Amino acid sequence: MKIPPRLRLANLPTRIDRMQRLSAELGVPVYLKRDDETGSELTGNKVRKLEFVLPDALAQGCDTLITCGGIQSNHARAVTAAAVRLGLASVLVLKTNTPPPCPDGNYLMNKLLGAEFRFISEQDYAGRRDEIMDDVKKELATQGRKAYIIPEGASNGLGCFGYYQCLHEIAAQEKEMGATFHTIVVPVGSGGTYGGLYAANKMLNAGKRIVGFNVCSTAGEFRERIAGEVREMLQTGGGQLAFANSDIDIVDGYVGLGYAISREEELDFIAKIARTDGVIFDPVYTGKALYGLYHEIKKGCFDAGKNILFIHTGGFPGLLPKRAEFM
């Protein structure tokens, strides 16, 4: 597989620590890869993807990045922060009927970083976001600007290379640590994180179980979507890989009340882990996925003798607008 050009943006490699108290409670060794420490403004899993997407934007001579997401999208914030670093403008197409009067979390960071916004309804976001981003691109062209569109979550053929390379990083860390991570667990929101790991695992014959916990939509829809992203990545890199969609291991059942909506037990779980292991998980992605993993381990779905590596994909700014719910 030919690896596309890469722009160094993230602090890598990220650390791997054992979650001591959680592992003791569950009787299964759980390790944490701290991709929440890839940076500060430019932090979380999206930075790894942008390292492969942005060289293409620069090669095309663009002056503006357009992307989309929820009002608290970590991805949109990472794109804005990267745009500023590269001397580019950013336009964010965000899903909200009414932007909050008092900016908070990622939305506040986007305001500070100088993003332009277009707010669209949930319905338009679901059905027309790509078309709307195209319209913004055309509108900017009439002003002499050249925009580059990054799809939701940067989960495309280029973005998937971020976690394709991350599996190589993990393999090198396993050698250093003298440990093997039999299972790797990630939250799934747009699929590219899972897709990159999945493809690398197959291509390296690493023999790991790659498990995703979807935080929206359904496992079936994500199997289709991730398969498409992996095919796009293979096409981009000229790689060959035979795989079946049914082999994409997504555990459904932990979306709870819906995307970015929290149940009391999920927030209690985040507070419990903060107090026992000293790590803060976000309520939208990592908190839901770790909550899911915790319950699946309790049900006996994971082998006690096998090390699990959970990738903490970031999302801390999304916790702050939830402060009232935590109270």
Q: Active-site residues: which are they?
A: 73
Chain position carrying tokens 């990738």: 311
Cβ–Cβ under 8 Å, residues 260 and 107:
no
In the bound complex, what is the minimum distance in angstroms from residue 146's beta carbon to ligand PLP?
A: 26
With binding defined as CB under 6 A, does residue 29 bind ligand PLP?
A: no
- Check residue 193 for interaction with ligand PLP (CB under 6 A): yes
Residue 116, CA atoms < 13 Å, CB-side half-sphere: 13
Least Å distance, CB 46 to ligand PLP, is: 6
**Radius of gyration of the chain measured on its C-alpha atoms:** 19
Nearer CB in complex with ligand PLP: 140/164: 164
Angle at 282 between CA 72 and CA 115, to 5 degrees: 25
Rounded-to-integer distance, Cα 106 and Cα 183, Å: 31
> Contact, 163 vs 169, CB < 8 A?
no
Instruction: Closer to ligand PLP by CB, 140 or 210: give it.
Output: 210
CB 58 → ligand PLP: shortest distance, Å?
22
Report the residue number, 137 or 225, with the smaller CB distance to ligand PLP: 225
What track of x and - describes contact with ligand PLP for positions 92 through 121 (by CB under 6 A)?
A: ------------------------------
Rounded Cα distance, 92 and 95, in Å: 10
Residue 285 lies near ligand PLP (rule: CB under 6 A): yes
Q: Which of 221, 214, 222 is nearest to 255 (CA)?
A: 214
Closest to 67 in 3D by CA, of 120, 105, 103: 120
Identify the residue whose tokens are 């795989």: 243
* Stretch 162-191 residues interacting with ligand PLP (CB under 6 A): 187-191
Q: Which of 33, 274, 287, 54 is closest to 166 using CA atoms?
A: 33
Least spacing, CB of residue 282 vs ligand PLP, in Å: 6
Q: Which residue among 313, 317, 319, 321 contacts ligand PLP (CB under 6 A)? A: 313
Output the six-digit token pair for 18.
């054992």
**Size of the chain, expressed as the number of residues it contains:** 327
Q: Near ligand PLP by CB under 6 A, which window of 1-9, 52-60, 251-259, 308-316?
A: 308-316
Segment 226-255, which members bind ligand PLP (CB under 6 A)?
none
Candidates 19, 38, 42, 44: give the one binding ligand PLP (CB under 6 A).
44
Contact string (CB under 6 A) for ligand PLP, positions 61-80, x = contact: -------------xx-----
CA distance 279 to 113: 27
**Shortest reach from residue 161's CB to ligand PLP, in Å:** 12
| Min dist. Cβ of residue 325 to ligand PLP (A) | 18
Q: How far is the CB of 176 from ligand PLP (least distance, A)?
A: 25
CA 36, 42, 43 angle in degrees (round to 5)?
5
* HSE-CB of 228 using CA atoms within 13 angstroms: 10
Structure tokens at 5: 């050009």
Name the pairing type of β-strands 16-18 and 30-34: antiparallel
Query: Binding to ligand PLP by residue 129, rule CB under 6 A?
Result: no
Nearest residue (CB) to ligand PLP, 277 versus 282: 282
Q: Which is nearer to ligand PLP, 83 or 140 (CB)?
A: 83
User: In the set 105, 151, 157, 192, which binds ligand PLP (CB under 6 A)?
Assistant: 192
Contact residues toward ligand PLP (CB under 6 A) are 44-45, 74-75, 153, 155, 187-194, 282, 285-286, 313-315
